[in-house]
C-alpha cells in the first residue's frame, strides 16, 4: 500500500490545496494527517474540512489541543498566542467536534504515527536533538515512527550503541535492522530554509520513504493573512521557509 503523510498545515489553504493535488498524482491509497491543521494561517476552517474529506487517520497536534483548551498558550510567544486566539474565534461547534475526534497516536501497517513525539505524546516534545530522540525511541515498538511538530524534515536513526544519529530528511530505503524517527516536514509553514510545502509518501511493503516539495502561491497566502491582521512575523517567514 502507498500512503501519503502530511502535517503542520497551519491554516495555509494555498499550500494544502497544492499538496492535495500533488498527492493525487502520486496515486496513493490513503492520506494520513499528523496534526496542527490550524494555527498561524488565515484558513483554519477550510483546512479542517479538507482534511476531513481527504484524510483517513487524523491525529491531534498541540495547536488543536490548545484550541480545545487542553493546554495553556501562556508560554507561546506573542505572535503565536495572537494567532491562536484569532484561530479559536473562527471555529464553530462543527469544527470543534471534528477536532475532538482526532487521535493522539496510532500504529498502523507496522508504522507509528504521532504529531510530536511517541514518548509522552501529549507533552509535545520537540525532536531536535539526539538526546530527546533517544527517549522517543522508547515510546514505540514499530521500526518506523513518522512525526511532525518541528517543521524540519529530519531522520533520526537508532544505533546499537550511543545516541541516535540525525540526518536531513531525504528520500531513502530504510535498512532492515534499523529503527527510525522520521519528521515529514510541514505543509503550511516549512522551517528548513525551503519555502515549498513538504510532505512524504511511504510504500508499506517495499518500505520506501519519499519526500516531496511543492510550490504554492505564497503571496496569496500572505495577503490573506495580512487582511486577517495576523502577526507580520508569521506572514514574512513563509517567504523564507523559516
Ligand atoms: Zn506545527
The Å distance, Cα 127 to ligand 1 centre, comes to 12
What's the CA gap between 29 and 196, in Å, rounded? 24
Sequence-separated (6 or more) residues with CB below 8 Å from residue 86 = 228, 229, 230
The CATH number of residue 38's host domain is 3.60.21.10
The Å distance, Cα 115 to ligand 1 centre, comes to 9
Which residues surround the ion ligand 1 when the cut-off is CB under 5 Å? 8, 36
The Å distance, Cα 34 to ligand 1 centre, comes to 10
Digit-by-digit pLDDT tens for the chain (242 residues) are: 999 999 999 999 999 999 999 999 999 999 999 999 999 999 999 999 999 999 999 999 999 999 999 988 888 888 888 889 999 999 999 999 999 999 999 999 999 999 999 999 999 999 999 999 999 999 999 999 999 999 999 999 999 899 999 999 999 999 888 999 999 999 999 999 999 999 999 999 999 999 999 999 999 999 999 999 999 999 999 999 99
What's the CA gap between 193 and 201, in Å, rounded? 21
The Å distance, Cα 177 to ligand 1 centre, comes to 31
In the structure grid, which three cell numbers stand for residue 183, read together? 519528521
- Whether the CB-CB separation of 23 and 65 falls below 8 Å is answered with no
Print the domain residue range for 28: 2-239
What's the CA gap between 105 and 170, in Å, rounded? 24
* Res 77: pLDDT: 87
The Å distance, Cα 36 to ligand 1 centre, comes to 5
The Å distance, Cα 150 to ligand 1 centre, comes to 6
- Whether the CB-CB separation of 87 and 39 falls below 8 Å is answered with yes
- Whether the CB-CB separation of 202 and 183 falls below 8 Å is answered with no
pTM over 0.85: yes
Count how many residues are written for the chain. 242
The Å distance, Cα 63 to ligand 1 centre, comes to 7
Query: Helix (H, G, I), strand (E, B), or coil: what is residue 213?
Result: strand
DSSP 42: S
Sequence-separated (6 or more) residues with CB below 8 Å from residue 81 = 73
What's the CA gap between 106 and 115, in Å, rounded? 10
The Å distance, Cα 80 to ligand 1 centre, comes to 11
The Å distance, Cα 148 to ligand 1 centre, comes to 7
Number of domains the chain is built from: 1
The Å distance, Cα 103 to ligand 1 centre, comes to 16
Amino acid at each position: 500500500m502507498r500512503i501519503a503523510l502530511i502535517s503542520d498545515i497551519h491554516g495555509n489553504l494555498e499550500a494544502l490545496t497544492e499538496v492535495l493535488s500533488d498527492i493525487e498524482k502520486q496515486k496513493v491509497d490513503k492520506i494520513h494527517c499528523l496534526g496542527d491543521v490550524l494555527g498561524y494561517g488565515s484558513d483554519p476552517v477550510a483546512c479542517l474540512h479538507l482534511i476531513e474529506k481527504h484524510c483517513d487517520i487524523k491525529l491531534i497536534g498541540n495547536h488543536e489541543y490548545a484550541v480545545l483548551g487542553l493546554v495553556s498558550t501562556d508560554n507561546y510567544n506573542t505572535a503565536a498566542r495572537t494567532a491562536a486566539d484569532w484561530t479559536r474565534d473562527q471555529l464553530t461547534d462543527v469544527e470543534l467536534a471534528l477536532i475532538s475526534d482526532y487521535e493522539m497516536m496510532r500504529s498502523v501497517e507496522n508504522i507509528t504515527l504521532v504529531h510530536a513525539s511517541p514518548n509522552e505524546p501529549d507533552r509535545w516534545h520537540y525532536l531536535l536533538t539526539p538526546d530527546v530522540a533517544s527517549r522517543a525511541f522508547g515510546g514505540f515498538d514499530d521500526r518506523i515512527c513518522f512525526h511532525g511538530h518541528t517543521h524540519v524534515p529530519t531522520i533520526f536513526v537508532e544505533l546499537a550503541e550511543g545516541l541516535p544519529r540525525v540526518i536531513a530528511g531525504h528520500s531513502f530505503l530504510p535498512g532492515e535492522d534499523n529503527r527510525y524517527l522520521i519528521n515529514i516536514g510541514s505543509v503550511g509553514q516549512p522551517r528548513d530554509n525551503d519555502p515549498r510545502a513538504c510532505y512524504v509518501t511511504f510504500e508499506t511493503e517495499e518500505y520506501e520513504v519519499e519526500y516531496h516539495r511543492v510550490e504554492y502561491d505564497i503571496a496569496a497566502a500572505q495577503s490573506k493573512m495580512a487582511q486577517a491582521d495576523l502577526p507580520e512575523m508569521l506572514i514574512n517567514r513563509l517567504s523564507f521557509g523559516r
